[in-house]
Amino acid sequence: MRGLKVIKPGPLSLLQDAGRYGWRHLGVSTSGPMDRQAAAWANHLLENPYGSAVVEIALGGVELEAQVDTWLALTGAPLGATVDGQAVPAWSRFCMKTGQRLQLGFAQAGQRAYLGVVGGFVAKTILGSVATHRREGLGGLGGDGQALRVDDVLGCSPGLNAFDKALGAASRFIPDYRESPTLRLVMGGDGEAFAKEQRERFFSSPWQVSPQADRMGIRLQGDASLEPPVRQWSLGVLAGAVQVPPEGQPIVLMADCQTMGGYPVLGFVHPVDLCRLAQCPAYHEVRFAPIELEEAQSDLKRFYRFFKNHEMNLCAD
């Protein structure tokens, strides 16, 4: 199948859809995009169903050549994109014709950009998803969890007649990745077992993103050090869980996290705010604020209603 040929793959470019749901009881991670909001916007601009396959581009440095006439959308971290030397606005959809090249510079803010195509990129599904999980060797173009490589072809259908003009997201929807975010946290897991002063210290202290951060988890570092309660057993975990190891520096689990963990869990980052954390570089400051479960649930429902009311990801995993 023809589509977009990879000329330069960049440091880490991964095919991702909504994720691999329904397999965590067998130890298979969900995976999917680190920034689900930016990925959803790429599909939204193209009028694709929520969760259609996109390319997650870490840091940038990608070059692609079109083998078909089609429409693309680029969201997330601004990369200074051009098509045959002509600038492409961030958070917009644009057309490419056969033979043209899309060149993506390196992130000017944030960490990850998302490239979508009309109809979504096409690849063989593994356990119901094309989401790339490198550690587990699942998904991606070849089904073996590999990142994009030179001469790979991202399959897609021609779609030049899908739209008659370019379109961008309104400025109010575009995050400023230079800002230091406040992440909302739902207390849960072992949260009540943490001493009151430990919970207060967590919320009142600034934290920095550690260089030890990847798609599995983001370690935080700060002057404050928490004292976690003692726990003798493991429990199920998922993206957004805030683990506190013995040294007291929290770890926020991300898209490729394991399914079981032994460290005490203080609570869970709001899923939408987890997207913002995914865009924070090393040493970027973050803070936390408590939020009630009911408020987080209502907010998440609004998120899915906005993106065409697709409910596939509201099901229990």
In order of 41, 137, 276, the CA distances from 175 in angstroms are 12, 32, 8
Domain match, 76 and 190 both: no
Domain that holds residue 90: 3-173
Within-domain flag for 313: no
Per-residue pLDDT of 265-277, as tens digits, reads: 999 999 999 999 9
Q: Are 10 and 59 in contact (CB under 8 A)?
A: yes
Within-domain flag for 315: no
Looking at the chain, the whole-number percentage of residues with pLDDT higher than 90 is: 91
Domain match, 128 and 222 both: no
Within-domain flag for 266: yes
Question: pLDDT grade, residue 308 (50/70/90)?
Answer: low
Average pLDDT over residues 284-288: 97
Domain match, 122 and 215 both: no
Q: In terms of Cα–Cα distance, which of 258, 229, 259 is closest to 246?
A: 229
Q: What are the phi and psi torsion angles at 234 (to 5°)?
A: -95, 160
Domain match, 117 and 33 both: yes
Domain match, 232 and 119 both: no
CA distance 154 to 281: 28
Average pLDDT over residues 5-28: 96
CA distance 301 to 298: 5
Question: What confidence score (pLDDT) does residue 160 get?
Answer: 87
Q: Are 239 and 253 in contact (CB under 8 A)?
A: yes
Domain match, 140 and 39 both: yes
Q: Are 273 and 289 in contact (CB under 8 A)?
A: no
Domain match, 262 and 141 both: no
Q: Which of these three, 145, 173, 201, is where a domain ends?
A: 173
Within-domain flag for 314: no
Looking at the chain, the whole-number percentage of residues with pLDDT higher than 70 is: 97
Domain match, 144 and 68 both: yes
Model confidence pTM above 0.85: yes
Rg (CA), the chain: 20
Average pLDDT over residues 157-168: 90
Q: In terms of Cα–Cα distance, which of 130, 120, 101, 149 is closest to 40?
A: 120
Within-domain flag for 115: yes
Within-domain flag for 65: yes
Lowest mean pLDDT among 26-35, 92-101, 197-206, 225-234: 225-234
Question: What confidence score (pLDDT) does residue 224 get?
Answer: 85
- The dihedral sign for the CA sequence 172, 168, 307, 22: negative
What rounded mean pLDDT belongs to the chain?
94
Within-domain flag for 297: yes
Domain match, 32 and 168 both: yes
CA distance 205 to 224: 7
Given a cut of 60, whether residue 263 has pLDDT beyond it is yes
Domain match, 194 and 259 both: yes
Q: Which of these three, 120, 141, 173, is where a domain ends?
A: 173
Within-domain flag for 312: no
In order of 20, 62, 146, 198, 276, the CA distances from 271 in angstroms are 16, 28, 26, 23, 9
Locate 205 and state its tokens.
Answer: 């202290």
Average pLDDT over residues 133-160: 95
User: What contacts 184, CB < 8 A, 6 or more positions away?
Assistant: 269, 270, 273, 288, 289, 290, 291, 296
Please count the CA atoms within 13 angstroms of the CA of 105 that sit on its side-chain side.
Answer: 15
CA distance 137 to 39: 22
Q: Which of these three, 110, 139, 173, is where a domain ends?
A: 173
Given a cut of 60, whether residue 312 has pLDDT beyond it is no
What's the full length of the chain, in residues?
A: 317
Question: What confidence score (pLDDT) does residue 56 get?
Answer: 98
We report the CATH number of the domain holding residue 285 as: 2.40.100.10
Domain match, 90 and 220 both: no
Could you tell me how far CA 152 lies from the centroid of its own chain? 22
| 3 state SS of 139 | strand
Q: Are 137 and 145 in contact (CB under 8 A)?
A: yes
Domain match, 46 and 27 both: yes
Per-residue pLDDT of 84-101, as tens digits, reads: 999 999 999 999 999 999
Total number of domains in the chain:
2
Question: What confidence score (pLDDT) does residue 316 get?
Answer: 33
Given a cut of 80, whether residue 313 has pLDDT beyond it is no
Given a cut of 50, whether residue 311 has pLDDT beyond it is no
Q: In terms of Cα–Cα distance, which of 153, 45, 61, 57 is closest to 95?
A: 45
